[in-house]
């Protein structure tokens, strides 16, 4: 019996064209549709979201990391200076270090821990043990949790300078500045002891709010002139809880963009409907880490550009 030859299947001209169009279409979708990488990665394990973010030369980059139900933001200046704000929960420490490695960050010049709740300082000890830290900045607030106490011991053992933030403090980053706006008043409420700061680079600004709630927002509005609050981007307070992001405060900031850091299907229901309604009413475009993953902006000092997800 003669052996049957294996037939090689060849695409026709139109089939090749259709396949090419599909490949291009998928590539465009992955880079333009928010959450596309994450959606496909659930069903196709070999697909991994790109972590290295390309920032134009001379631009500042601001990253809001997807760290579950917690906060972590990274600022990278054109002169190489770096600022890390918060470090989510303990289990996210490894993921934060991995992200920093992808961005080729080998040192943190300023590590700002907005307040001593575990979803903001949990991963800090692991970061401090792994990387050189120039200075740690914290509010004048304490708690008796094991996470906080171990963090203080680690800072001391590493002989890292610890600075207690005061309202009005200016942190010079060379070609950018950070101004501390809150907390204005001391309180036993740790959320309202959150460091609130505005980052200025050229004509652009970013507002970081920790878990500051309405009482702290009101204190700041009473103390400072309206010009102190204007920013292009705001990190929404307390993961989008209705106790933060009062209409008056968000209106004073009047950002173009808002970033909300919260965990997928979190038990708190963050972000709350009231916060989303405020953002919608003021016409502010918002992005949620639980929906789109990491959120990244760049600034050339004149304008802010959304790098991820693509607008």
Tens digit of each residue's pLDDT (9 = 90 or more) over 219-239 = 999 999 999 999 999 999 999
Radius of gyration of the chain from Cα atoms?
A: 22
| Residue environment code for 259-286, b if the CB has 16+ CB neighbours within 10 A, otherwise e | bbbbbeeeeeebbbeebbebbeeeebeb
Contacts of residue 189, Cβ cutoff 8 Å, sequence gap at least 6: 213, 215
pLDDT in the model for residue 225:
95
User: Yes or no: is domain 55-308 CATH 3.40.120.10?
Assistant: no
Question: 63, 295 in Cβ contact below 8 A?
Answer: yes
- Percent of the chain, pLDDT > 70? 84
3-state SS class at 180:
strand
Backbone angles phi, psi at 57, to 5 degrees: -55, 135
Backbone angles phi, psi at 297, to 5 degrees: -120, 155
C-alpha 143/C-alpha 59 separation (Å) is: 38
What's the count of helices (H) and strands (E) in the chain, helices before strands? 10, 15
pLDDT in the model for residue 58:
87
The single-letter DSSP state of residue 240 is G
Residue with tokens 């907005």: 114
C-alpha 14/C-alpha 224 separation (Å) is: 66
Burial class (CB in 10 A: 0-12, 13-18, 19+), 166: exposed
Question: 72, 86 in Cβ contact below 8 A?
Answer: yes
What confidence category does residue 53 fall into, taking pLDDT thresholds of 50, 70 and 90? Answer: confident
Distance from chain centroid for Cα 36: 19
pLDDT in the model for residue 54:
77
The stretch 4-16 carries a mean pLDDT of: 60
Q: Is the peptide bond before 251 cis (omega within 30 degrees of 0)?
A: no
pLDDT in the model for residue 133:
98
Query: What are the percentages of helix, strand and coil residues in the chain, rounded to 5?
Result: 35, 20, 45
The single-letter DSSP state of residue 17 is H
What confidence category does residue 57 fall into, taking pLDDT thresholds of 50, 70 and 90? Answer: confident
Report which of residues 82 and 9 the model is more confident about: 82
| Other Cβ atoms closer than 10 A to 12 | 8
pLDDT in the model for residue 46:
45
Question: 73, 63 in Cβ contact below 8 A?
Answer: yes
| Other Cβ atoms closer than 10 A to 150 | 14
Q: What is the pTM of this model?
A: 0.84
Does 44 have pLDDT greater than 70? no
**Structure-block tokens of residue 34:** 């928010």
| Other Cβ atoms closer than 10 A to 3 | 5
Q: In this structure, which long-range contacts are made by residues 30-37, counting pairs with CB atoms below 8 Å and at least 24 apart in sequence? A: 31/310, 32/310, 33/309, 34/287, 34/291, 34/292, 34/309, 34/310, 35/291, 35/292, 35/293, 35/309, 37/293
Inter-axis angle of helices 36-43 and 13-32, nearest 10: 120
Does 17 have pLDDT greater than 80? no
Q: Is the peptide bond before 255 cis (omega within 30 degrees of 0)?
A: no
């Amino acid at each position: 019996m003669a052996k049957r030859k294996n037939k090689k299947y060849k695409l026709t001209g139109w089939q090749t064209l259709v396949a090419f169009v599909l490949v291009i279409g998928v590539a465009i979708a992955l880079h333009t549709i928010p959450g596309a990488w994450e959606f496909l990665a659930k069903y196709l394990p070999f697909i991994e979201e790109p972590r290295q973010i390309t920032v134009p030369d001379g631009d500042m980059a601001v990253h809001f990391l997807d760290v579950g139900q917690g906060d972590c933001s990274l600022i990278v200046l054109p002169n190489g200076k770096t600022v890390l704000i918060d470090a989510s929960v303990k289990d996210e420490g490894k993921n934060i270090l991995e992200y920093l490695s992808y961005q080729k960050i080998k040192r943190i010049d300023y590590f700002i821990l907005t307040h001593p709740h575990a979803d903001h300082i949990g991963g800090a000890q692991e970061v401090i043990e792994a990387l050189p830290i120039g200075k740690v900045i914290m509010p004048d607030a304490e708690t008796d949790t094991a996470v906080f106490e171990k963090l203080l011991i680690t800072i001391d053992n590493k002989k890292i300078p610890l600075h207690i933030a005061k309202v009005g403090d200016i942190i010079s980053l060379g070609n950018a500045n950070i101004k501390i706006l809150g907390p204005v008043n001391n309180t036993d409420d740790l959320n309202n002891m959150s460091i609130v700061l505005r980052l200025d680079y050229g004509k652009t600004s970013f507002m970081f709010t920790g878990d500051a709630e309405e009482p702290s927002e009101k204190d700041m509005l009473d103390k400072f002139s309206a010009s102190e609050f204007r920013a292009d981007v705001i990190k929404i307070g307390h993961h989008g809880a209705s106790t933060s992001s009062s209409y008056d405060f968000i209106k004073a900031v009047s950002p173009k963009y808002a970033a909300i850091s919260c965990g997928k299907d979190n038990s708190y229901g963050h972000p709350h409907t009231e916060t989303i309604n405020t953002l919608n009413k003021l016409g502010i475009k918002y992005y949620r880490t639980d929906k789109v993953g990491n959120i990244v902006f760049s600034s050339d000092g004149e304008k802010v550009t959304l790098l991820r997800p693509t607008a």
